[in-house]
Structure 1
Amino acid sequence: MPALHPDVQALLAMLRAADAQPLESLPPEAARRSYLAGRRALQPPPDEVAQIRDLAAPSPAGPVPLRLYRGEGTAPEERLPCLVYLHGGGWVLGNVESHDWVCRRLANLTRASVISVDYRLAPEHPFPAAVEDAAAALAFVVERAEGLGVDPARLAVGGDSAGGNLAAVLALMGRDGALPRTAMQVLLYPAVDLAMTS
Protein backbone atom coordinates (compact mmCIF):
# COMPACT_ATOMS: atom_id res chain seq x y z
CA MET A 1 0.00 0.00 0.00
CA PRO A 2 1.36 3.47 -0.81
CA ALA A 3 2.35 5.73 2.07
CA LEU A 4 -0.29 8.12 3.37
CA HIS A 5 -0.11 11.69 2.17
CA PRO A 6 1.45 13.95 4.85
CA ASP A 7 -1.83 15.91 5.15
CA VAL A 8 -3.71 12.69 5.92
CA GLN A 9 -1.04 11.64 8.43
CA ALA A 10 -1.36 15.03 10.16
CA LEU A 11 -5.16 14.73 10.26
CA LEU A 12 -5.01 11.24 11.78
CA ALA A 13 -2.47 12.41 14.37
CA MET A 14 -4.73 15.34 15.26
CA LEU A 15 -7.72 13.02 15.71
CA ARG A 16 -5.70 10.65 17.94
CA ALA A 17 -4.43 13.58 20.02
CA ALA A 18 -7.96 14.94 20.47
CA ASP A 19 -9.01 11.56 21.90
CA ALA A 20 -12.50 12.21 20.54
CA GLN A 21 -15.25 9.74 21.31
CA PRO A 22 -16.81 7.97 18.34
CA LEU A 23 -19.98 9.81 17.30
CA GLU A 24 -22.08 6.65 17.64
CA SER A 25 -21.17 6.45 21.36
CA LEU A 26 -22.59 9.91 22.10
CA PRO A 27 -26.19 11.02 22.68
CA PRO A 28 -27.62 12.65 19.52
CA GLU A 29 -27.21 16.29 20.64
CA ALA A 30 -23.60 15.75 21.75
CA ALA A 31 -22.83 13.86 18.52
CA ARG A 32 -24.28 16.75 16.50
CA ARG A 33 -22.13 19.31 18.31
CA SER A 34 -19.02 17.16 17.82
CA TYR A 35 -19.83 16.57 14.14
CA LEU A 36 -20.30 20.28 13.47
CA ALA A 37 -17.12 21.22 15.36
CA GLY A 38 -15.14 18.60 13.44
CA ARG A 39 -16.39 19.77 10.07
CA ARG A 40 -15.59 23.40 10.90
CA ALA A 41 -12.07 22.49 12.07
CA LEU A 42 -11.26 20.45 8.95
CA GLN A 43 -12.65 22.69 6.21
CA PRO A 44 -10.80 25.55 4.54
CA PRO A 45 -12.21 29.06 4.87
CA PRO A 46 -15.62 29.38 3.18
CA ASP A 47 -15.90 30.85 -0.31
CA GLU A 48 -17.50 34.25 -0.78
CA VAL A 49 -20.78 34.00 -2.71
CA ALA A 50 -22.99 36.61 -4.35
CA GLN A 51 -25.86 36.15 -1.89
CA ILE A 52 -26.99 34.11 1.10
CA ARG A 53 -30.61 34.15 2.30
CA ASP A 54 -32.22 32.14 5.08
CA LEU A 55 -35.75 31.05 4.18
CA ALA A 56 -38.41 28.63 5.39
CA ALA A 57 -40.65 26.28 3.42
CA PRO A 58 -44.10 25.68 4.88
CA SER A 59 -45.00 22.11 5.74
CA PRO A 60 -47.71 20.36 7.82
CA ALA A 61 -45.09 19.71 10.54
CA GLY A 62 -43.97 23.36 10.65
CA PRO A 63 -41.51 25.51 8.72
CA VAL A 64 -38.52 23.76 7.12
CA PRO A 65 -35.41 25.98 7.36
CA LEU A 66 -33.59 26.58 4.06
CA ARG A 67 -30.51 28.54 3.05
CA LEU A 68 -30.19 29.95 -0.46
CA TYR A 69 -26.77 30.62 -2.01
CA ARG A 70 -26.16 32.40 -5.31
CA GLY A 71 -22.82 31.78 -6.95
CA GLU A 72 -20.24 34.51 -7.14
CA GLY A 73 -20.43 36.54 -10.36
CA THR A 74 -24.14 35.96 -10.90
CA ALA A 75 -26.37 38.98 -11.43
CA PRO A 76 -29.22 39.61 -8.97
CA GLU A 77 -31.83 39.61 -11.76
CA GLU A 78 -30.53 36.38 -13.35
CA ARG A 79 -32.78 33.31 -13.14
CA LEU A 80 -30.27 30.65 -12.23
CA PRO A 81 -30.23 26.89 -12.42
CA CYS A 82 -30.86 25.55 -8.92
CA LEU A 83 -29.64 22.61 -6.85
CA VAL A 84 -31.82 21.68 -3.87
CA TYR A 85 -29.14 20.22 -1.57
CA LEU A 86 -29.75 17.70 1.21
CA HIS A 87 -26.92 17.26 3.70
CA GLY A 88 -25.48 13.97 4.86
CA GLY A 89 -25.04 12.73 8.40
CA GLY A 90 -26.85 9.40 8.63
CA TRP A 91 -30.25 11.10 9.06
CA VAL A 92 -29.08 11.94 12.62
CA LEU A 93 -26.30 14.52 12.14
CA GLY A 94 -25.74 17.61 10.02
CA ASN A 95 -27.57 20.80 9.17
CA VAL A 96 -27.19 23.85 6.94
CA GLU A 97 -24.20 25.00 9.03
CA SER A 98 -22.27 21.73 8.72
CA HIS A 99 -22.67 21.80 4.93
CA ASP A 100 -22.29 25.55 4.40
CA TRP A 101 -18.80 25.17 2.89
CA VAL A 102 -19.85 22.61 0.26
CA CYS A 103 -22.98 24.58 -0.71
CA ARG A 104 -20.94 27.75 -1.19
CA ARG A 105 -18.40 25.87 -3.31
CA LEU A 106 -21.11 24.20 -5.44
CA ALA A 107 -22.86 27.55 -6.03
CA ASN A 108 -19.60 29.12 -7.22
CA LEU A 109 -18.41 26.18 -9.32
CA THR A 110 -21.74 25.90 -11.14
CA ARG A 111 -22.62 29.63 -11.22
CA ALA A 112 -26.00 28.55 -9.92
CA SER A 113 -28.24 28.79 -6.92
CA VAL A 114 -27.98 26.15 -4.20
CA ILE A 115 -30.76 25.79 -1.65
CA SER A 116 -29.72 23.79 1.41
CA VAL A 117 -32.47 21.99 3.34
CA ASP A 118 -32.34 21.67 7.14
CA TYR A 119 -34.63 18.64 7.41
CA ARG A 120 -35.72 17.10 10.72
CA LEU A 121 -33.35 14.52 12.17
CA ALA A 122 -33.78 11.11 13.78
CA PRO A 123 -34.17 9.70 16.36
CA GLU A 124 -36.39 12.56 17.54
CA HIS A 125 -38.10 12.65 14.15
CA PRO A 126 -38.19 9.14 12.65
CA PHE A 127 -38.92 8.23 9.04
CA PRO A 128 -40.65 9.68 7.05
CA ALA A 129 -39.95 13.11 8.62
CA ALA A 130 -36.80 13.81 6.57
CA VAL A 131 -38.54 12.81 3.32
CA GLU A 132 -41.55 14.99 4.14
CA ASP A 133 -39.34 18.00 4.84
CA ALA A 134 -37.29 17.44 1.69
CA ALA A 135 -40.49 17.17 -0.38
CA ALA A 136 -41.89 20.35 1.17
CA ALA A 137 -38.65 22.17 0.36
CA LEU A 138 -38.66 21.05 -3.28
CA ALA A 139 -42.33 22.02 -3.72
CA PHE A 140 -41.61 25.44 -2.17
CA VAL A 141 -38.69 26.07 -4.53
CA VAL A 142 -40.82 25.24 -7.57
CA GLU A 143 -43.79 27.32 -6.36
CA ARG A 144 -41.61 30.33 -5.49
CA ALA A 145 -39.06 29.96 -8.30
CA GLU A 146 -39.54 33.44 -9.72
CA GLY A 147 -39.17 35.20 -6.36
CA LEU A 148 -36.12 33.06 -5.55
CA GLY A 149 -34.50 33.91 -8.88
CA VAL A 150 -34.30 30.30 -10.03
CA ASP A 151 -35.31 28.60 -13.25
CA PRO A 152 -37.68 25.70 -12.45
CA ALA A 153 -36.82 24.08 -15.80
CA ARG A 154 -33.19 23.77 -14.62
CA LEU A 155 -33.83 22.35 -11.18
CA ALA A 156 -31.72 19.55 -9.69
CA VAL A 157 -31.82 17.63 -6.42
CA GLY A 158 -28.65 16.44 -4.76
CA GLY A 159 -26.89 15.56 -1.58
CA ASP A 160 -24.21 13.52 0.10
CA SER A 161 -24.63 10.19 1.92
CA ALA A 162 -28.06 10.26 3.65
CA GLY A 163 -28.79 13.44 1.70
CA GLY A 164 -28.00 11.57 -1.52
CA ASN A 165 -30.61 9.03 -0.48
CA LEU A 166 -33.18 11.77 0.08
CA ALA A 167 -32.33 13.38 -3.26
CA ALA A 168 -32.83 10.06 -5.05
CA VAL A 169 -36.19 9.66 -3.29
CA LEU A 170 -37.26 13.14 -4.47
CA ALA A 171 -36.22 12.29 -8.03
CA LEU A 172 -38.29 9.10 -7.91
CA MET A 173 -41.26 10.97 -6.45
CA GLY A 174 -40.95 13.46 -9.32
CA ARG A 175 -40.80 10.67 -11.86
CA ASP A 176 -43.94 9.14 -10.34
CA GLY A 177 -45.88 12.44 -10.27
CA ALA A 178 -45.94 12.98 -6.48
CA LEU A 179 -43.62 16.00 -6.79
CA PRO A 180 -42.50 18.31 -9.59
CA ARG A 181 -40.07 16.55 -11.92
CA THR A 182 -36.45 17.67 -11.70
CA ALA A 183 -33.94 17.90 -14.53
CA MET A 184 -31.09 16.15 -12.74
CA GLN A 185 -29.93 14.45 -9.58
CA VAL A 186 -26.44 14.97 -8.13
CA LEU A 187 -25.62 12.16 -5.71
CA LEU A 188 -22.37 12.29 -3.72
CA TYR A 189 -21.60 8.86 -2.20
CA PRO A 190 -25.34 8.28 -1.68
CA ALA A 191 -26.78 5.75 0.77
CA VAL A 192 -28.89 3.90 -1.79
CA ASP A 193 -27.77 0.27 -1.43
CA LEU A 194 -29.53 -1.51 1.43
CA ALA A 195 -26.98 -4.34 1.27
CA MET A 196 -24.17 -1.74 1.58
CA THR A 197 -22.08 -3.52 -1.04
CA SER A 198 -21.20 -0.36 -2.95
Structure 2
Amino acid sequence: MRPAIDPGLAGFLEQAAAAGAPPITAGSVADARTGNAEFLRTMRTRQEPVRAVEELSVPTRAGDLPARAYLPVDEPVAVVVYLHGGGWVLGDLEGHDQLCRHLAATSGAVVVNVNYRHAPETRFPGPAEDAADAVAWAAATYPYPVVVMGDSAGGNLAASAAVASRDAGVRLDLQVLLYPVLDADLTRESYRRNGDGYLLTAADMDWFWDHYVGDGDRFDPRASVLRVDDLDGLAPAVVLVAGYDPLHDEGIAYADRLAAAGVPCDVLEYPGAIHGFMTLHAVSPLGEQAAEEVAGLVRRRTTAAV
Protein backbone atom coordinates (compact mmCIF):
# COMPACT_ATOMS: atom_id res chain seq x y z
CA MET A 1 0.00 0.00 0.00
CA ARG A 2 1.36 3.41 -0.97
CA PRO A 3 2.09 6.04 1.71
CA ALA A 4 -0.53 8.77 1.89
CA ILE A 5 0.15 11.91 -0.07
CA ASP A 6 0.97 14.98 2.02
CA PRO A 7 -2.37 16.60 3.07
CA GLY A 8 -1.45 20.06 1.80
CA LEU A 9 -0.32 18.72 -1.55
CA ALA A 10 -3.40 16.49 -1.78
CA GLY A 11 -5.66 19.49 -1.18
CA PHE A 12 -3.79 21.48 -3.81
CA LEU A 13 -4.25 18.72 -6.40
CA GLU A 14 -7.93 18.35 -5.54
CA GLN A 15 -8.51 22.08 -5.98
CA ALA A 16 -6.66 22.08 -9.30
CA ALA A 17 -8.72 19.14 -10.56
CA ALA A 18 -12.00 20.73 -9.43
CA ALA A 19 -11.07 23.97 -11.17
CA GLY A 20 -10.21 22.16 -14.38
CA ALA A 21 -6.72 23.64 -14.38
CA PRO A 22 -4.98 23.03 -17.72
CA PRO A 23 -1.69 21.11 -17.93
CA ILE A 24 1.58 22.97 -17.36
CA THR A 25 2.34 22.71 -21.06
CA ALA A 26 -1.05 23.81 -22.41
CA GLY A 27 -0.95 26.30 -25.27
CA SER A 28 2.12 27.88 -26.79
CA VAL A 29 5.57 28.14 -25.23
CA ALA A 30 4.80 31.78 -24.39
CA ASP A 31 1.52 30.74 -22.73
CA ALA A 32 3.27 28.03 -20.70
CA ARG A 33 5.96 30.47 -19.55
CA THR A 34 3.44 33.08 -18.51
CA GLY A 35 1.30 30.56 -16.66
CA ASN A 36 4.28 29.03 -14.89
CA ALA A 37 5.62 32.41 -13.79
CA GLU A 38 2.21 33.50 -12.48
CA PHE A 39 1.74 30.22 -10.63
CA LEU A 40 5.16 30.37 -8.94
CA ARG A 41 4.49 33.97 -7.97
CA THR A 42 1.46 32.81 -5.97
CA MET A 43 3.70 30.34 -4.12
CA ARG A 44 6.07 33.01 -2.81
CA THR A 45 4.91 33.62 0.74
CA ARG A 46 7.83 35.61 2.17
CA GLN A 47 11.43 36.74 1.71
CA GLU A 48 14.11 34.92 3.67
CA PRO A 49 16.62 37.11 5.54
CA VAL A 50 20.01 37.11 3.79
CA ARG A 51 22.92 39.54 4.08
CA ALA A 52 22.64 40.76 0.49
CA VAL A 53 21.32 39.92 -2.96
CA GLU A 54 23.54 40.72 -5.93
CA GLU A 55 22.67 40.74 -9.64
CA LEU A 56 25.49 39.12 -11.60
CA SER A 57 26.55 38.15 -15.10
CA VAL A 58 28.13 34.72 -15.45
CA PRO A 59 30.50 34.37 -18.42
CA THR A 60 30.09 31.29 -20.64
CA ARG A 61 31.30 30.19 -24.06
CA ALA A 62 28.04 31.56 -25.50
CA GLY A 63 28.12 34.91 -23.67
CA ASP A 64 27.07 36.26 -20.31
CA LEU A 65 24.14 34.76 -18.42
CA PRO A 66 22.02 36.70 -15.91
CA ALA A 67 22.35 35.40 -12.37
CA ARG A 68 21.43 36.36 -8.84
CA ALA A 69 23.64 35.68 -5.82
CA TYR A 70 22.18 35.31 -2.32
CA LEU A 71 24.78 35.95 0.38
CA PRO A 72 24.36 34.31 3.81
CA VAL A 73 24.60 36.37 6.98
CA ASP A 74 27.85 34.76 8.15
CA GLU A 75 31.07 33.86 6.34
CA PRO A 76 30.07 31.46 3.54
CA VAL A 77 30.80 27.76 3.87
CA ALA A 78 30.38 27.07 0.13
CA VAL A 79 29.11 28.42 -3.17
CA VAL A 80 26.07 26.75 -4.74
CA VAL A 81 25.44 27.11 -8.47
CA TYR A 82 21.64 26.72 -8.63
CA LEU A 83 19.88 25.67 -11.86
CA HIS A 84 16.11 26.09 -11.77
CA GLY A 85 13.52 23.65 -13.03
CA GLY A 86 10.96 24.15 -15.77
CA GLY A 87 11.56 21.47 -18.37
CA TRP A 88 14.44 23.43 -19.93
CA VAL A 89 11.71 25.70 -21.35
CA LEU A 90 10.09 27.52 -18.42
CA GLY A 91 11.39 29.41 -15.43
CA ASP A 92 13.50 32.42 -14.52
CA LEU A 93 15.30 33.94 -11.55
CA GLU A 94 12.07 35.04 -9.87
CA GLY A 95 10.36 31.66 -9.76
CA HIS A 96 12.99 30.11 -7.48
CA ASP A 97 13.81 33.26 -5.52
CA GLN A 98 12.29 32.09 -2.24
CA LEU A 99 13.89 28.64 -2.43
CA CYS A 100 17.35 30.09 -3.18
CA ARG A 101 17.01 32.61 -0.34
CA HIS A 102 16.02 29.84 2.04
CA LEU A 103 18.93 27.66 0.97
CA ALA A 104 21.41 30.51 1.46
CA ALA A 105 19.97 31.40 4.86
CA THR A 106 19.95 27.84 6.19
CA SER A 107 23.03 26.31 4.52
CA GLY A 108 25.40 29.23 5.04
CA ALA A 109 26.40 29.07 1.36
CA VAL A 110 26.41 31.73 -1.31
CA VAL A 111 23.66 30.58 -3.69
CA VAL A 112 24.07 31.75 -7.28
CA ASN A 113 20.81 31.28 -9.19
CA VAL A 114 21.82 31.08 -12.88
CA ASN A 115 19.30 31.77 -15.65
CA TYR A 116 20.68 29.48 -18.34
CA ARG A 117 19.43 29.73 -21.92
CA HIS A 118 16.10 28.02 -22.54
CA ALA A 119 14.68 25.75 -25.21
CA PRO A 120 13.35 25.84 -27.84
CA GLU A 121 15.30 29.02 -28.64
CA THR A 122 18.47 27.26 -27.44
CA ARG A 123 18.22 23.51 -27.69
CA PHE A 124 20.46 20.79 -26.31
CA PRO A 125 23.38 20.90 -25.69
CA GLY A 126 23.30 24.69 -25.14
CA PRO A 127 21.73 24.71 -21.65
CA ALA A 128 23.99 21.84 -20.54
CA GLU A 129 27.03 23.80 -21.71
CA ASP A 130 25.76 26.86 -19.82
CA ALA A 131 25.54 24.78 -16.64
CA ALA A 132 29.03 23.36 -17.03
CA ASP A 133 30.46 26.82 -17.74
CA ALA A 134 28.70 28.28 -14.69
CA VAL A 135 30.29 25.64 -12.45
CA ALA A 136 33.72 26.34 -13.95
CA TRP A 137 33.20 30.07 -13.37
CA ALA A 138 32.19 29.49 -9.74
CA ALA A 139 35.21 27.27 -9.14
CA ALA A 140 37.50 29.98 -10.53
CA THR A 141 35.74 32.85 -8.73
CA TYR A 142 34.95 31.71 -5.16
CA PRO A 143 37.44 30.42 -2.57
CA TYR A 144 34.88 28.02 -1.11
CA PRO A 145 33.81 24.43 -1.79
CA VAL A 146 31.72 24.31 -4.97
CA VAL A 147 28.26 22.75 -5.18
CA VAL A 148 26.03 22.37 -8.22
CA MET A 149 22.32 22.01 -7.42
CA GLY A 150 19.17 21.93 -9.49
CA ASP A 151 15.60 20.74 -9.46
CA SER A 152 13.81 18.80 -12.19
CA ALA A 153 15.32 19.88 -15.55
CA GLY A 154 17.75 21.95 -13.50
CA GLY A 155 18.71 18.71 -11.74
CA ASN A 156 19.37 17.24 -15.17
CA LEU A 157 21.67 20.15 -15.99
CA ALA A 158 23.39 19.84 -12.60
CA ALA A 159 24.05 16.13 -13.16
CA SER A 160 25.35 16.82 -16.66
CA ALA A 161 27.56 19.61 -15.32
CA ALA A 162 29.00 17.26 -12.69
CA VAL A 163 30.08 14.84 -15.42
CA ALA A 164 31.49 17.69 -17.54
CA SER A 165 33.36 19.07 -14.52
CA ARG A 166 34.99 15.71 -13.82
CA ASP A 167 36.00 15.32 -17.45
CA ALA A 168 37.43 18.86 -17.62
CA GLY A 169 39.21 18.68 -14.26
CA VAL A 170 37.05 21.44 -12.77
CA ARG A 171 36.80 21.52 -8.97
CA LEU A 172 33.40 20.35 -7.76
CA ASP A 173 32.74 19.18 -4.22
CA LEU A 174 29.07 18.18 -4.26
CA GLN A 175 26.14 17.69 -6.65
CA VAL A 176 22.60 18.01 -5.33
CA LEU A 177 19.87 16.69 -7.61
CA LEU A 178 16.31 17.53 -6.58
CA TYR A 179 13.70 15.26 -8.25
CA PRO A 180 15.94 15.34 -11.35
CA VAL A 181 15.25 14.42 -14.97
CA LEU A 182 17.88 11.78 -15.72
CA ASP A 183 16.56 9.72 -18.63
CA ALA A 184 14.26 10.14 -21.63
CA ASP A 185 12.70 6.71 -21.10
CA LEU A 186 9.08 7.50 -20.22
CA THR A 187 8.05 3.88 -19.64
CA ARG A 188 9.35 3.30 -16.13
CA GLU A 189 6.93 2.14 -13.44
CA SER A 190 6.83 5.56 -11.76
CA TYR A 191 5.66 7.03 -15.07
CA ARG A 192 2.84 4.50 -15.22
CA ARG A 193 2.01 5.03 -11.54
CA ASN A 194 2.34 8.83 -11.38
CA GLY A 195 2.10 9.98 -14.98
CA ASP A 196 -1.25 11.71 -14.61
CA GLY A 197 -2.95 13.58 -11.78
CA TYR A 198 0.12 14.68 -9.78
CA LEU A 199 0.99 18.07 -11.37
CA LEU A 200 3.75 16.89 -13.73
CA THR A 201 2.42 14.43 -16.29
CA ALA A 202 4.03 12.01 -18.72
CA ALA A 203 2.64 14.12 -21.56
CA ASP A 204 4.32 17.20 -20.08
CA MET A 205 7.66 15.41 -20.02
CA ASP A 206 7.29 14.32 -23.65
CA TRP A 207 6.56 17.97 -24.57
CA PHE A 208 9.59 19.17 -22.62
CA TRP A 209 11.92 16.62 -24.23
CA ASP A 210 10.62 17.56 -27.69
CA HIS A 211 11.38 21.23 -27.06
CA TYR A 212 14.78 20.56 -25.48
CA VAL A 213 16.25 18.05 -27.92
CA GLY A 214 14.10 18.58 -31.01
CA ASP A 215 15.18 16.16 -33.74
CA GLY A 216 18.31 15.21 -31.80
CA ASP A 217 18.98 12.14 -29.70
CA ARG A 218 17.09 12.19 -26.41
CA PHE A 219 19.34 9.41 -25.18
CA ASP A 220 22.61 11.28 -25.65
CA PRO A 221 24.32 10.79 -22.25
CA ARG A 222 24.76 14.55 -21.87
CA ALA A 223 20.94 14.77 -21.84
CA SER A 224 19.97 11.36 -20.43
CA VAL A 225 22.70 11.37 -17.80
CA LEU A 226 21.61 7.99 -16.45
CA ARG A 227 23.19 6.59 -19.64
CA VAL A 228 26.70 7.92 -18.96
CA ASP A 229 28.94 4.83 -19.17
CA ASP A 230 31.45 5.73 -16.47
CA LEU A 231 30.40 7.47 -13.25
CA ASP A 232 33.66 6.85 -11.43
CA GLY A 233 35.24 9.94 -9.89
CA LEU A 234 32.14 12.13 -9.92
CA ALA A 235 31.54 14.57 -7.08
CA PRO A 236 29.64 13.16 -4.09
CA ALA A 237 25.90 13.42 -4.57
CA VAL A 238 22.60 14.07 -2.87
CA VAL A 239 19.58 12.77 -4.79
CA LEU A 240 16.12 13.78 -3.59
CA VAL A 241 13.06 11.97 -4.92
CA ALA A 242 9.30 12.29 -4.43
CA GLY A 243 7.01 9.29 -4.16
CA TYR A 244 4.25 10.69 -6.39
CA ASP A 245 6.61 11.91 -9.12
CA PRO A 246 6.90 10.35 -12.60
CA LEU A 247 10.67 10.89 -12.28
CA HIS A 248 11.00 8.95 -9.02
CA ASP A 249 12.44 5.75 -10.46
CA GLU A 250 15.13 7.33 -12.61
CA GLY A 251 16.36 9.25 -9.57
CA ILE A 252 16.68 6.03 -7.58
CA ALA A 253 18.34 4.28 -10.54
CA TYR A 254 20.95 7.02 -10.82
CA ALA A 255 21.64 7.02 -7.09
CA ASP A 256 22.13 3.25 -7.26
CA ARG A 257 24.56 3.61 -10.17
CA LEU A 258 26.52 6.33 -8.35
CA ALA A 259 26.84 4.15 -5.28
CA ALA A 260 27.91 1.17 -7.40
CA ALA A 261 30.63 3.36 -8.93
CA GLY A 262 31.93 4.26 -5.48
CA VAL A 263 30.50 7.79 -5.47
CA PRO A 264 29.22 8.77 -1.99
CA CYS A 265 25.50 9.38 -2.42
CA ASP A 266 22.76 10.38 0.03
CA VAL A 267 19.21 9.56 -1.05
CA LEU A 268 16.44 11.73 0.41
CA GLU A 269 13.07 10.08 -0.14
CA TYR A 270 9.82 11.99 0.39
CA PRO A 271 7.14 9.31 -0.11
CA GLY A 272 4.16 11.68 0.23
CA ALA A 273 5.47 14.40 -2.10
CA ILE A 274 4.79 15.32 -5.72
CA HIS A 275 7.15 16.71 -8.33
CA GLY A 276 8.11 20.32 -7.70
CA PHE A 277 7.00 20.30 -4.07
CA MET A 278 9.96 22.35 -2.85
CA THR A 279 8.57 25.44 -4.57
CA LEU A 280 4.99 24.88 -3.40
CA HIS A 281 5.56 26.93 -0.24
CA ALA A 282 2.01 28.24 -0.04
CA VAL A 283 0.27 24.86 0.11
CA SER A 284 2.51 22.62 2.23
CA PRO A 285 5.37 22.93 4.75
CA LEU A 286 6.94 19.78 3.30
CA GLY A 287 9.00 21.73 0.76
CA GLU A 288 10.53 23.91 3.44
CA GLN A 289 11.35 20.84 5.50
CA ALA A 290 13.10 19.32 2.49
CA ALA A 291 15.00 22.54 1.83
CA GLU A 292 16.24 22.54 5.41
CA GLU A 293 17.36 18.91 5.12
CA VAL A 294 19.19 19.67 1.87
CA ALA A 295 20.77 22.80 3.36
CA GLY A 296 21.98 20.82 6.36
CA LEU A 297 23.63 18.25 4.08
CA VAL A 298 25.28 21.00 2.03
CA ARG A 299 26.72 22.52 5.19
CA ARG A 300 27.98 19.19 6.54
CA ARG A 301 29.37 17.85 3.26
CA THR A 302 31.15 21.05 2.29
CA THR A 303 32.55 21.63 5.76
CA ALA A 304 33.99 18.12 5.63
CA ALA A 305 35.47 18.90 2.18
CA VAL A 306 37.53 21.86 3.43
Shorter-chain-normalised TM-score: which range? 0.7 to 0.9
1:137 deviates by 1.6
Aligned to 1:95: 92
Gaps of 5+ in 2: 189-248, 250-306
Task: Give the deviation of 1:188 after TM superposition.
Answer: 0.6
* Cα distance in 1 between the residues matched to 2:61 and 2:6: 49
Query: In structure 2, the residue corresponding to 1:58 is in which secondary structure?
Result: strand
Maintained 8 Å contact 1:171/1:181: no
Question: Is the Cα contact below 8 Å between 2:51 and 2:71 reproduced in 1?
Answer: yes
**Paired residue total:** 187
Deviations 1:51-98 (A, max 9, x none): 110101123322111110112x31xxx354111111111111112111
- Pair 48,127 (structure 1): closer, same or farther in 2 beyond 3 Å: same
1:1-150 equivalences under 5 Å are 7-16=8-17, 18-71=19-72, 73-74=73-74, 78-145=75-142, 150=143
8 Å CA contact 2:41, 2:95 repeated in 1 = yes
Cα pair distance change 1:6/1:132, threshold 3 Å:
closer
1:30 partner amino acid: D
Give structure 1 stretches of 5+ with no counterpart: none
1:82-119 Cα offsets, whole Å, 9 max, x none, are 11111111111112111111111111110111111100
Which of residues 130, 148, 152 in structure 2 aligns to 1:157?
A: 148
Partner of 1:158: helix, strand, or coil?
strand
The percent identity for this pair of structures is 41
- AA aligned opposite 1:52: V
- 2:171 aligned with 1:181: yes
Change (3 A) 1:2 1:184: closer
CA 1:185 to 1:13, structure 2 compared with 1: closer, same or farther past 3 Å?
Answer: same
Distance 2:17 2:173 in 1: 44
| Cα separation, 2, equivalents of 1:164 and 1:115 | 15
Per the TM alignment, residue 37 of structure 1 is displaced from its structure 2 partner at its CA by 1.1
Contact 2:132 2:162 in 1 (8 A): no
Aligned-partner Cα distance in 2 for 1:60–1:4? 43
Deviations 1:39-59 (A, max 9, x none): 121342231211110101123
| Native 8 Å contact 2:132 2:165 kept in 1 | no
* Distance in 2 of aligned mates of 1:166 and 1:49: 26
CA offset at residue 9 of structure 1?
5.0
d(CA) in 1 for partners of 2:10 and 2:147? 37
Q: Which residue, 150, 161, 169 being the options, matches 1:170?
A: 161
Task: Quote the offset at 1:2 in angstroms.
Answer: 7.6
Contact map agreement 2:139 2:172 (CA 8 A) in 1: no
CA contact (8 A) 1:119 1:133 kept: yes
